[in-house]
Amino acid sequence: MKKIHRISAICTALFLACTTVIFSQEVSRNKQSFDEDWKFSLGHAADPAKDFNFRVANIFAKAVKTETTAIDLKYNDKAWRSLNVPHDWAVELPFANSPNFDMMSHGYKAIGGLFPENSIGWYRKHFTVAKADSGSRYSVQFDGIFRDAMIWVNGFYLGRNESGYIGQTYDITDFLNFNSDNVIVVRADASQSEGWFYEGAGIYRHVWLNKYNGLHIPDEGVFVHATVANNQANVSVETTVENQYLIKSGYSLLSYITDRNGKKIASSTETTGSLNVNEKANVKQSIALSKPRLWSLEDPYQYHLVSEVRVGNKLIDVVKTRFGVRTIEFNLSTGFFLNGKHIKIHGTNNHQDHGGLGSALPNDLQYYRIRLLKEMGVNAYRASHHAPTPELLNACDSLGMLVLDEQRILSSSAEYIDQFTRLIKRDRNHPSIFLWSIGNEEGSIQTASSGRRIAQTLLAKQVELDPTRTSTYAADLANVFSGVNEVIPIRGFNYRHLGVADYHRDHPSQPILGTEMGSTVTTRGIYAKDSVRAYVPDQDITAPWWASTAEAWLPLSEENPFWLGGFIWTGFDYRGEPTPYQWPNISSHFGVMDACGFPKNIYYYYQSWWTDKDVLHITPHWNWKGKEGKLIDVWVNSNADNVELFLNRKSLGKKTMPKNSHLIWQVPYHAGVLQAVGYKGGRKITTKVETTGEAYQLVLRADKTNLKANGINTAVINVSVVDKQGREVPDVNELISFSLTGDAKIIGVGNGDPSSHEADKYLEGKWQRKLFNGKCQVIIQAGKNNSNIRLNADSENLKGSVNQISISK
């Protein structure tokens, strides 16, 4: 008995000693980017010998039985390619014509089940952790890997994440080697797709190494939301505190609010408690905030919530959470209200790829794309059809863009409940999110009783995790109530716009949102159907059978208050879903902008009616050599009261602009100047297009002139062509070569051509791209040293151009 007591006393003393050492530490929380210095190699989905013996070696026989595989800590990966993530290996692959539907819908990249040699990607990263930090805990956080990722650290298997969109975090504390080599290994399997659009492949989002104390706030352990009344906000804070120490521990939690400059302006009372080993507590606190500055589309102001955890007098954890104070309301008769102000939803659906980059977008590109949408008058973004990258939500929070955040699959299985849980807990503090979506177009399931039951389970989970918002479901159904629509709070319409009024008549207690509308297909700068090159005219005239033109749906939404508004399909062209063609078309035509963000003509239709800007836009261009005397349909998109059109100063007539519509003149072509004069509220506005001379010189325009020397910042350089008089030439398709000097690199080239089979990436460094109807794009990324970089653009038949950008600390 005495021996047992002595052993117990020794164990207790050891636990106390360990705990005392840990408690003596100050705050150790640190979130370190783990994007740099990865090694990469393709594996093989069908040949284990080319997949580093995976599926042959019995790696699960013991905790670490990884010899003869690329999982092994001692595996020699020096021959592998060195790169930084985010990385999309699919965009680097060639195109391959195939009759397979999934190949077509994903943009004909040579990846998937038919291409086992291109569908497995292996990543390895070496890192060290100092012995002095051995008292801390560590986790590795992957924001997104496409897809079916298996992860190891030092040969220890961490887990598997089948989702290509919602990330996962793994505790690696127990498996680390201090003061020596550690290796993270990732095997991504893109053999199976999830969507029916381009999805990319690999670690295409950020990776982080998180360091924290044993008693801490866990990942996504803070939920902050507010109610507002009489110029006073009541900020509710729910904080999870977890004890992973070896003994019971007391703690205190204080939450306070700062303004964006870090000034403390309000605080909770301090809450104390105690936690047993491995116990979690959900602590609820309240903070009164006087005269809050509300987050809005025009003023997207964000506060910071600071959560501090102490043990005794020691501050051992601090978590900072950005949030916004705003109110949202869905009114049955009058629509959607943000902070009491009526807002008609003017939204776009969007996939996540960009021309030249695939799915691995730098942070700056998220802001670039959201700014382009806002310039058009867009106020809402639907993340179609999956969890967006966190940086996209940050851009929407910062720039003032509402977000409809969507679950990938309508399913209540354990796997998809887990994905939905991770989505909501990750994103619920973003003020931009005004609505959740539990799924999209699930065929026969959506009208069945099983669909209703699945929806109810998902809705219950949403209310549990976020009672401050509600949900919709995107149904491609007209006046159909059975199934999901019986229980969904906000009825989502995908197309079927002519069924909205009947549905509202029969179900007046359900708000209605156009979750997918429009779907006009256009090719930038093309004005005649071309079935050989797979182009469609750049006007609002062509739509698939299941969709409509812009002018067919928008007036219904704008003129009927029971419409909350709608999301057009889509803001940007995206790779995959080549409609109405197939090969050689490898990209969609749905966007109001092409895949690089160059506006098409339909952009100006929406801008006319979604903004208060003076919009007056003429199409087509006026370079029609060989068509002299032939009639050209001239479209004018404008929000002017009336417009008069002139050709070479001769009036072609004045017309009143119909609301939510456009004007057309049939004009016999003669070279010269086509001018429109509009009057808006008595003010005169003008624009013109004119016949240009021959293409003469390249012009480079960058979205930034200065970049930070951080290895992250990017600049988008748009390339166009002018004649000798400086007029932009709209119909040039010359090949352009690019070279770069200074501490920066080119990371992608594109031109918005939906049938281009040119490379987006040139791993050997010889970057080039053809202009498509006068435009192309280059994206560069800064290095880490002060530098003046020069981007040179040259062409055999055009005068070259140089763009200079400064990079500094």
Of the pLDDT bands very low, low, confident and very high (cuts 50, 70, 90), residue 28 is confident
Residue from 219, 134, 124, 218 nearest 176 by CA = 134
CA distance to 49, 396, 411, per residue, from 420 (Å): 37, 21, 9
Pull the structure tokens for residue 300: 């997207």
- Is residue 41 over pLDDT 70? yes
**Residue-level pLDDT at 27:** 74
Q: DSSP 3-state assignment of 809?
A: coil
Question: Distance between CA atoms of 462 and 729, rounded to whole angstroms?
Answer: 52
For residue 136, which of 231, 65, 42, 210 has the smallest C-alpha distance?
210
Is residue 22 scored above 60 in pLDDT?
A: no
Among residues 327, 355, 330, which one has the least CA distance to residue 345?
A: 330
Q: What is the mean predicted confidence (pLDDT) over 530-559?
A: 97
Q: How many Å apart are CA 51 and CA 178, to the nearest integer?
A: 30
Q: Is the pLDDT of residue 681 over 80?
A: yes
How far apart CA 657 and CA 141 sit, in angstroms, is 54
- In the predicted structure, residue 586 carries a pLDDT above the cut 70: yes
pLDDT at 781 over 60: yes
CA distance 332 to 376: 28
What local confidence, expressed as pLDDT, does residue 347 receive?
A: 98
> Above 70 in pLDDT, residue 440?
yes
Whether 151 contacts 172, CB under 8 Å = no
Token pair belonging to 482: 């059975």
Give the containing element (helix H, strand E) for 295: none
Residues with Cβ within 8 Å of residue 292, at least 6 apart in sequence: 226, 228, 231, 232, 233, 325
Average pLDDT, the chain: 95
Mean pLDDT of the region 617-636: 97
Cα distances (Å, whole numbers) of residue 182 to 161, 176, 271, 770: 21, 7, 39, 44
How far apart CA 311 and CA 329 sit, in angstroms, is 41
Contacts of 174 (CB under 8 A, 6+ apart): 156
Instruction: For residue range 291-326, list pLDDT tens digits in order.
Output: 999 999 999 999 999 999 999 999 999 999 999 999
CB 663 within 8 A of CB 601: no
How far CA 691 is from CA of 77, 319, 623, in Å, comes to 58, 60, 5
Q: How far apart are CA 582 and CA 564, in angstroms?
A: 35
Backbone angles phi, psi at 67, to 5 degrees: -55, 150
Does the pLDDT value for residue 15 go beyond 50? Answer: no
Tell me the β-bridge partners of 645.
676
Q: What is the pLDDT of residues 711-737, one digit of tens each?
A: 999 999 999 999 999 999 999 999 999
pLDDT of 43 strictly over 80: yes
Residue 765: the pLDDT is 86
Instruction: Answer yes or no: is pLDDT of 409 > 50.
Output: yes
Q: What is the band of 665 on the pLDDT scale with cuts at 50, 70, 90?
A: very high
Distances from the Cα of 436 to the Cαs of 350, 424, 674, 762, in angstroms?
15, 8, 47, 39
> How many C-beta atoms lie closer than 10 Å to residue 558's C-beta?
17
CA-wise closest residue to 237 among 290, 296, 304: 304
The CA distance from 687 to 97, in Å, is 43
Output the pLDDT for position 8. Answer: 43
pLDDT of residue 764: 85
Query: With left for phi above 0 and alpha for psi between -120 and 50, is residue 11 left, alpha or beta?
Result: alpha
Spatial CA neighbour of 85 closest among 29, 129, 140, 137? 140
Per-residue tokens: 431: 């003020």
Question: What digits encode the pLDDT tens for the residues 591-610?
Answer: 999 999 999 999 999 999 99
Q: What is the pLDDT of residue 294?
A: 98
Q: How far apart are CA 79 and CA 77, in angstroms?
A: 5
